Structure 1
Amino acid sequence: MLAHFRPTWMLESIYNLTPADVRAHNIRVILTDMDNTLIAWNNPNGTPQLREWLKTMSAAGIPVVVVSNNSSKRVARALTDLKLPFISRALKPLTRGINIAKKQYRVKSSEIVLVGDQLLTDVAAANNAHIKSILVKPLIETDAWNTQINRAMEKRLTKRLLKKGYLKRTWGHSLND
């Protein structure tokens, strides 16, 4: 049961993910959660660091696709300036959004990764879909009200995962850490 919430990798930030890391692990498409993974949930403008990271991935020919449980209206509004493709109402931890992306980009499960800041939604969805996952630290320490419930459950879950050795105690800076 606990292994269901075990990420493939743990990174300090999505910005630590490089084209070299992606290629070395045969990843062709990056799926990413939106709130507190790509952008702060309460600041949809993104950062200069995010824009630079997106340019780097684009120049390397690596698609970045947002897979969010939010409504289409909310995701479209948040991503207006970033002009990223997205799948809304993904229903994570179910596999709906991931399966749509796999079909759209014609990739095998081994060629796709989901990056997110939550064990209960992002990592569980990736494991349900049999794809790789990257757990990242949330960009900011506060959350929208609906995520706060998950965070409370995740605190208890994290303690159990650490005790079992399913989570590292430190955040990596590359997929090789």
Structure 2
Amino acid sequence: MIRLLQPDLYVRSLCDIPLALLKARGIRGLIIDLDNTVTAWGRATLDRGVRHWFADLKEQGLRACLVSNNRSGRVKKVADALGIPGISRAGKPRRRAFRQAMAVMETEAGSTAVIGDQVFTDILGGNRLGLYTVLVMPINSREFIGTRMMRHVERLFTRHLPVADLSGYDKRPLA
């Protein structure tokens, strides 16, 4: 059970993930959480770094799908702004939404990664299907009260995880 809660990679933020690293692992599709991964909780505005990262993702031929337990209006607004599909009210960590996202992206488990800020939704859900999982630190501490309570339990698993130092990694796209 503990293995299901451990990410394959732990980084500070979405923008710190080199797309070349994912492509080198055979990843073709990314299931990406919304709140505190792409945007601050409850917000629909995207910062420039996130927009640039998603533009690079598309240039590299990678596919992405937002998957969120949040309501549909906000998920659609952000997904449309990024030009990618979005799945709302996902019920993570249940497998259904992850499978739905892979179907939309036309990827299989071995070529799909999950990126998110929560161990008990994003990482657990991805690991249950054998996906490559990437845990990011939350954008900020403002979040849903239920999530805040779960963070205390999550810290039991994340406090000893090494944050990947990708500073020396060439973040330029693969040719």
TM-score normalised by length of structure 2:
0.87
Runs of 4+ in structure 1 over 6 Å off: none
User: Post-superposition shift, 1:115?
Assistant: 0.2
Cα distance between partner residues in 1 of 2:79 and 2:105 = 20
Residue type matched to 2:52 in 1?
Answer: E
Tell whether the 8 Å contact from 1:44 to 1:79 is kept in structure 2 after alignment.
no
User: Post-superposition shift, 1:80?
Assistant: 4.4
Residue type matched to 2:137 in 1?
Answer: K
Q: What 5-or-longer segments of structure 1 have no aligned partner?
A: none
Cα distance between partner residues in 1 of 2:104 and 2:75 = 18
DSSP 3-state at the match of 2:26:
coil
Tell whether the 8 Å contact from 2:33 to 2:115 is kept in structure 1 after alignment.
yes
DSSP 3-state at the match of 1:36:
coil
DSSP 3-state at the match of 2:84:
coil
1:129-168 to 2 correspondences below 5 Å: 129-159=129-159, 162=160, 167-168=161-162
- C-alpha offsets along residues 52-93 of structure 1, whole Å, 9 cap, x if unaligned? 111111111111210111121231234443333111122111
Tell whether the 8 Å contact from 1:45 to 1:81 is kept in structure 2 after alignment.
no
Tell whether the 8 Å contact from 2:119 to 2:135 is kept in structure 1 after alignment.
yes
- Residues 35-44 or 82-91, more deviating: 82-91
- Residues 45-54 or 10-19, more deviating: 10-19
Aligned residue number for residue 15 of structure 1: 15
Cα distance between partner residues in 2 of 1:36 and 1:13 = 9
Relative to 1, partners in 2 of residues 1:157 and 1:8: Cα closer, same or farther, differing over 3 Å? closer
Tell whether the 8 Å contact from 1:10 to 1:172 is kept in structure 2 after alignment.
no
Cα distance between partner residues in 1 of 2:74 and 2:43 = 12
Residue type matched to 2:165 in 1?
Answer: G
Aligned residue number for residue 119 of structure 1: 119
Aligned residue number for residue 108 of structure 1: 108
DSSP 3-state at the match of 1:81:
helix
Tell whether the 8 Å contact from 1:117 to 1:136 is kept in structure 2 after alignment.
yes
Aligned-residue CA RMSD in angstroms?
Answer: 2.0
- C-alpha offsets along residues 18-47 of structure 1, whole Å, 9 cap, x if unaligned? 231121000000110000001111332110
DSSP 3-state at the match of 2:46:
coil
Aligned residue number for residue 71 of structure 2: 71
DSSP 3-state at the match of 2:81:
coil
Tell whether the 8 Å contact from 1:113 to 1:132 is kept in structure 2 after alignment.
yes
Tell whether the 8 Å contact from 1:114 to 1:126 is kept in structure 2 after alignment.
yes
Cα distance between partner residues in 2 of 1:22 and 1:158 = 22
